[in-house]
Amino acid sequence: MDLLVLLNHFINFAAPAAWLALLLPWLARLLIRKRSPGFSLLKQGTIIFMAGLLVLLLGLTLLGQDGKMVTYLTLVITAATSQRFMLKGWRG
């Protein structure tokens, strides 16, 4: 496997985490106007991307195959939970 094929595989592997990291902070600011964000959009996206990539890697390691629905469900739950904790005043 040459470098371009390996890069293509990694981009396709990380794409779900990247889409959540791009869309979730923006949608949270758009839909939840009462609470001010605790972090900038870039920091929120980076945290969500790193957490999502970790979930995808753990899913690949533990299940032995990429693309299992349990992994994607865990990815969405992890991204939403981390976004929730990044909002100021999340306790009430």
Q: Where are the domains of the chain?
A: 3-85
Measured distance CA(90)–CA(27) in Å, rounded: 16
Average pLDDT, integer, range 2-8: 95
Query: What is the arithmetic mean of pLDDT over 3-31?
Result: 94
What global pTM score does this model have?
Answer: 0.88
**Which pLDDT score, from 0 to 100, does residue 92 have?**
52
The more confidently predicted of residues 33 and 4 is: 4
The pLDDT value given to residue 67: 84
- Do residues 17 and 49 make contact, with C-beta atoms less than 8 angstroms apart? yes
Cα angle: 77, vertex 22, 49; to 5 degrees: 55
- Within 10 angstroms of residue 75's Cβ, the number of other Cβ atoms is 22
Q: What band does 90 get if pLDDT is binned at 50, 70 and 90?
A: low
Encode pLDDT of 29-80 as tens digits: 888 877 666 788 899 999 999 999 999 999 999 999 888 999 999 999 999 9
